[in-house]
Amino acid sequence: MELRDRLAIVLDVDDLVLAQRLGRQLKPWFGVAKVGHELYAAAGPEAVTAMVDEGYAVMLDLKLYDIPTTVRKAARVLGGLGASFLTMHAHGGPVMLRAGVDGLRDGAEAAGLPAPVALAVTILTSDAGAPAHILGRRVMTAVEGGCGGVVCAASDVQEAKELAPRMMAVVPGIRPATSDRHDQARAATPQQALASGADLLVVGRAVTAAPDPARAAADLVDSLGAATTS
Protein backbone atom coordinates (compact mmCIF):
# COMPACT_ATOMS: atom_id res chain seq x y z
CA MET A 1 0.00 0.00 0.00
CA GLU A 2 1.34 3.44 -0.93
CA LEU A 3 1.80 5.98 1.83
CA ARG A 4 -0.85 8.30 0.38
CA ASP A 5 -3.41 5.49 0.65
CA ARG A 6 -2.76 5.47 4.40
CA LEU A 7 -3.47 9.18 4.76
CA ALA A 8 -6.95 10.73 4.99
CA ILE A 9 -7.50 14.47 4.67
CA VAL A 10 -10.31 15.94 6.74
CA LEU A 11 -12.61 18.15 4.66
CA ASP A 12 -14.42 19.84 7.56
CA VAL A 13 -15.82 22.80 5.64
CA ASP A 14 -19.38 23.90 4.93
CA ASP A 15 -18.93 24.50 1.21
CA LEU A 16 -18.61 21.72 -1.37
CA VAL A 17 -16.76 23.95 -3.84
CA LEU A 18 -14.14 24.72 -1.18
CA ALA A 19 -13.92 21.01 -0.29
CA GLN A 20 -13.32 20.14 -3.93
CA ARG A 21 -10.68 22.86 -4.24
CA LEU A 22 -8.88 21.52 -1.15
CA GLY A 23 -9.24 17.98 -2.43
CA ARG A 24 -7.65 18.80 -5.77
CA GLN A 25 -4.85 20.73 -4.11
CA LEU A 26 -4.00 17.94 -1.67
CA LYS A 27 -4.58 14.84 -3.80
CA PRO A 28 -0.86 14.25 -4.47
CA TRP A 29 -0.40 13.44 -0.76
CA PHE A 30 -3.74 11.98 0.36
CA GLY A 31 -5.65 9.01 -1.01
CA VAL A 32 -8.65 9.23 1.33
CA ALA A 33 -11.02 12.15 1.92
CA LYS A 34 -12.95 12.31 5.20
CA VAL A 35 -16.46 13.72 4.82
CA GLY A 36 -17.85 14.54 8.25
CA HIS A 37 -20.95 16.12 9.71
CA GLU A 38 -20.21 19.68 8.59
CA LEU A 39 -19.68 18.97 4.90
CA TYR A 40 -22.42 16.35 4.78
CA ALA A 41 -24.87 18.78 6.41
CA ALA A 42 -23.98 21.38 3.79
CA ALA A 43 -23.94 19.23 0.66
CA GLY A 44 -25.51 15.86 1.52
CA PRO A 45 -24.77 12.78 -0.60
CA GLU A 46 -23.19 14.98 -3.28
CA ALA A 47 -20.26 15.49 -0.90
CA VAL A 48 -19.46 11.78 -1.22
CA THR A 49 -19.99 11.45 -4.95
CA ALA A 50 -18.00 14.62 -5.68
CA MET A 51 -14.96 13.38 -3.78
CA VAL A 52 -15.21 9.94 -5.37
CA ASP A 53 -15.26 11.69 -8.74
CA GLU A 54 -12.06 13.52 -7.67
CA GLY A 55 -10.40 10.12 -7.32
CA TYR A 56 -10.54 9.74 -3.54
CA ALA A 57 -11.62 6.85 -1.42
CA VAL A 58 -14.15 8.45 0.94
CA MET A 59 -14.40 7.97 4.68
CA LEU A 60 -17.95 9.00 5.54
CA ASP A 61 -17.65 9.99 9.18
CA LEU A 62 -21.25 10.27 10.39
CA LYS A 63 -20.82 8.18 13.56
CA LEU A 64 -24.23 6.52 13.29
CA TYR A 65 -25.80 5.89 16.69
CA ASP A 66 -29.48 5.03 17.03
CA ILE A 67 -31.77 2.04 17.36
CA PRO A 68 -30.75 -0.87 15.11
CA THR A 69 -33.62 -0.47 12.65
CA THR A 70 -32.85 3.20 12.07
CA VAL A 71 -29.13 2.52 11.68
CA ARG A 72 -29.79 -0.32 9.23
CA LYS A 73 -32.03 1.87 7.07
CA ALA A 74 -29.64 4.81 7.11
CA ALA A 75 -26.65 2.57 6.37
CA ARG A 76 -28.51 1.01 3.46
CA VAL A 77 -28.91 4.44 1.84
CA LEU A 78 -25.31 5.41 2.61
CA GLY A 79 -23.99 2.09 1.31
CA GLY A 80 -25.11 3.05 -2.19
CA LEU A 81 -23.18 6.33 -2.36
CA GLY A 82 -19.75 4.94 -3.19
CA ALA A 83 -17.94 5.65 0.08
CA SER A 84 -15.20 3.23 1.10
CA PHE A 85 -15.68 3.60 4.87
CA LEU A 86 -18.56 4.52 7.20
CA THR A 87 -18.27 5.22 10.93
CA MET A 88 -20.69 4.09 13.63
CA HIS A 89 -20.45 4.48 17.41
CA ALA A 90 -19.34 1.29 19.17
CA HIS A 91 -21.25 2.57 22.20
CA GLY A 92 -24.42 1.60 20.31
CA GLY A 93 -23.66 -2.07 20.93
CA PRO A 94 -23.10 -5.14 18.74
CA VAL A 95 -26.71 -5.45 17.58
CA MET A 96 -26.73 -1.87 16.31
CA LEU A 97 -23.34 -2.31 14.64
CA ARG A 98 -24.45 -5.54 12.96
CA ALA A 99 -27.57 -3.78 11.68
CA GLY A 100 -25.35 -1.10 10.17
CA VAL A 101 -23.04 -3.65 8.58
CA ASP A 102 -26.01 -5.46 7.06
CA GLY A 103 -27.49 -2.21 5.79
CA LEU A 104 -24.20 -1.21 4.19
CA ARG A 105 -23.94 -4.55 2.43
CA ASP A 106 -27.51 -4.39 1.14
CA GLY A 107 -27.22 -0.80 -0.06
CA ALA A 108 -23.93 -1.37 -1.83
CA GLU A 109 -25.16 -4.58 -3.44
CA ALA A 110 -28.26 -2.82 -4.76
CA ALA A 111 -26.03 -0.13 -6.30
CA GLY A 112 -23.56 -2.64 -7.73
CA LEU A 113 -20.76 -1.39 -5.47
CA PRO A 114 -18.38 -2.98 -2.96
CA ALA A 115 -19.69 -2.66 0.58
CA PRO A 116 -17.96 0.09 2.60
CA VAL A 117 -15.84 -0.97 5.55
CA ALA A 118 -17.74 -0.32 8.77
CA LEU A 119 -15.56 1.50 11.30
CA ALA A 120 -16.55 1.45 14.97
CA VAL A 121 -15.65 4.62 16.84
CA THR A 122 -14.25 3.59 20.23
CA ILE A 123 -13.30 6.67 22.25
CA LEU A 124 -13.18 10.19 20.83
CA THR A 125 -9.70 11.68 20.73
CA SER A 126 -11.08 14.74 22.54
CA ASP A 127 -12.03 12.54 25.54
CA ALA A 128 -9.14 12.43 28.00
CA GLY A 129 -11.21 11.03 30.85
CA ALA A 130 -12.60 7.75 29.49
CA PRO A 131 -12.11 4.81 31.92
CA ALA A 132 -9.32 2.43 30.92
CA HIS A 133 -11.61 -0.58 30.46
CA ILE A 134 -13.80 1.13 27.87
CA LEU A 135 -11.46 0.62 24.92
CA GLY A 136 -11.30 -3.16 25.20
CA ARG A 137 -15.04 -3.43 25.65
CA ARG A 138 -15.72 -1.33 22.55
CA VAL A 139 -13.16 -3.13 20.40
CA MET A 140 -14.82 -6.45 21.26
CA THR A 141 -18.21 -4.86 20.53
CA ALA A 142 -16.88 -3.94 17.08
CA VAL A 143 -15.76 -7.54 16.53
CA GLU A 144 -19.14 -8.92 17.61
CA GLY A 145 -20.88 -6.40 15.38
CA GLY A 146 -18.96 -7.49 12.29
CA CYS A 147 -17.06 -4.26 11.74
CA GLY A 148 -13.91 -4.22 9.67
CA GLY A 149 -12.08 -1.59 11.68
CA VAL A 150 -12.02 0.70 14.68
CA VAL A 151 -11.34 4.40 15.12
CA CYS A 152 -9.10 5.06 18.09
CA ALA A 153 -6.25 7.21 19.37
CA ALA A 154 -2.69 6.22 18.52
CA SER A 155 -2.13 5.34 22.18
CA ASP A 156 -4.93 2.76 21.93
CA VAL A 157 -3.82 0.99 18.75
CA GLN A 158 -1.57 -1.59 20.40
CA GLU A 159 -4.32 -2.77 22.75
CA ALA A 160 -6.89 -2.76 19.95
CA LYS A 161 -4.62 -4.86 17.71
CA GLU A 162 -3.90 -7.31 20.51
CA LEU A 163 -7.63 -7.85 20.98
CA ALA A 164 -8.51 -7.88 17.28
CA PRO A 165 -5.40 -8.35 15.10
CA ARG A 166 -7.35 -8.30 11.84
CA MET A 167 -9.12 -5.04 12.61
CA MET A 168 -8.11 -1.98 10.63
CA ALA A 169 -6.99 0.83 12.99
CA VAL A 170 -7.93 4.35 11.93
CA VAL A 171 -6.26 7.10 13.96
CA PRO A 172 -7.55 10.71 14.02
CA GLY A 173 -6.00 13.59 15.92
CA ILE A 174 -2.78 13.55 13.91
CA ARG A 175 -0.57 16.55 14.64
CA PRO A 176 3.07 17.22 13.74
CA ALA A 177 5.09 17.92 16.89
CA THR A 178 5.12 21.67 16.24
CA SER A 179 1.37 21.97 15.52
CA ASP A 180 -1.42 23.24 17.75
CA ARG A 181 -3.31 20.35 19.36
CA HIS A 182 -6.61 22.30 19.17
CA ASP A 183 -9.31 20.22 20.93
CA GLN A 184 -7.51 16.91 20.49
CA ALA A 185 -6.67 15.81 24.02
CA ARG A 186 -5.09 12.56 22.78
CA ALA A 187 -3.28 13.74 19.68
CA ALA A 188 -0.24 12.01 18.20
CA THR A 189 2.42 12.83 15.67
CA PRO A 190 2.15 10.95 12.37
CA GLN A 191 5.36 9.10 13.22
CA GLN A 192 3.92 7.97 16.57
CA ALA A 193 0.72 6.81 14.89
CA LEU A 194 2.53 4.76 12.25
CA ALA A 195 4.85 3.28 14.88
CA SER A 196 1.82 2.25 16.94
CA GLY A 197 0.52 0.15 14.05
CA ALA A 198 -2.10 2.52 12.65
CA ASP A 199 -3.40 1.59 9.20
CA LEU A 200 -4.99 4.93 8.27
CA LEU A 201 -3.98 8.34 9.63
CA VAL A 202 -6.62 11.08 9.64
CA VAL A 203 -5.12 14.55 9.22
CA GLY A 204 -7.11 17.75 9.48
CA ARG A 205 -6.31 21.27 10.63
CA ALA A 206 -2.56 20.67 10.78
CA VAL A 207 -2.76 20.76 6.97
CA THR A 208 -6.04 22.43 6.01
CA ALA A 209 -5.60 25.39 8.40
CA ALA A 210 -1.95 25.91 7.52
CA PRO A 211 -0.98 29.11 5.63
CA ASP A 212 0.12 26.88 2.75
CA PRO A 213 -1.79 23.55 2.90
CA ALA A 214 0.16 22.00 0.03
CA ARG A 215 3.49 22.76 1.71
CA ALA A 216 2.20 21.44 5.04
CA ALA A 217 1.06 18.24 3.33
CA ALA A 218 4.36 17.79 1.52
CA ASP A 219 6.33 18.35 4.74
CA LEU A 220 4.19 15.84 6.62
CA VAL A 221 4.58 13.17 3.95
CA ASP A 222 8.31 13.83 3.64
CA SER A 223 8.72 13.37 7.39
CA LEU A 224 6.82 10.08 7.23
CA GLY A 225 8.83 8.87 4.28
CA ALA A 226 12.04 9.56 6.17
CA ALA A 227 10.69 7.76 9.24
CA THR A 228 9.67 4.65 7.30
CA THR A 229 13.02 4.34 5.52
CA SER A 230 15.26 5.08 8.50
CATH code, 138: 3.20.20.70
Q: What is the pLDDT of residue 225?
A: 74
Catalytic status, residue 27? no
State which amino acid sits at residue 103: G
Summarize the confidence of residues 173-197 as an average pLDDT. 76
The rounded Cα 134 to chain-centroid distance in angstroms is 20
pLDDT tens digit string along 16-62? 999 999 999 999 999 999 999 999 999 999 999 999 999 999 999 99
HSE value, Cβ hemisphere, 13 Å, CA-based, for 56: 32
Share of the chain above pLDDT 70, in %: 92
Q: What is the pLDDT of residue 180?
A: 59
Q: What is the pLDDT of residue 230?
A: 44
Flag whether the pTM goes above 0.85.
Answer: yes
Is the pLDDT confidence value at 154 over 80? yes
Task: Give the residue, 133 or 197, on which the prediction is more confident.
Answer: 197
List the catalytic residue out of 27, 63, 73, 161.
Answer: 63
pLDDT band at 178 (very low <50, low <70, confident <90, very high): low
What range does the domain containing 62 cover?
3-229
For residues 9 and 2, give the distance between their C-alpha atoms in angstroms, rounded to a whole number: 15
Q: Is 57 helix (H, G, I), strand (E, B) or coil?
A: strand
Q: What is the pLDDT of residue 227?
A: 52
Is the pLDDT confidence value at 186 over 70? no
pLDDT band at 171 (very low <50, low <70, confident <90, very high): very high
Between 25-34, 51-60, 113-122, 187-196, the lowest mean confidence (pLDDT) is in: 187-196
Number of domains in the chain: 1
Strand ranges (E), the chain:
7-10, 32-35, 57-64, 85-89, 117-121, 149-151, 168-174, 200-203
* Contact indicator for 116, 87 with CB cutoff of 8 Å: no
Is the pLDDT confidence value at 229 over 50? no
Is the pLDDT confidence value at 201 over 60? yes
Summarize the confidence of residues 111-136 as an average pLDDT. 88
- Arithmetic mean of pLDDT over the chain: 92
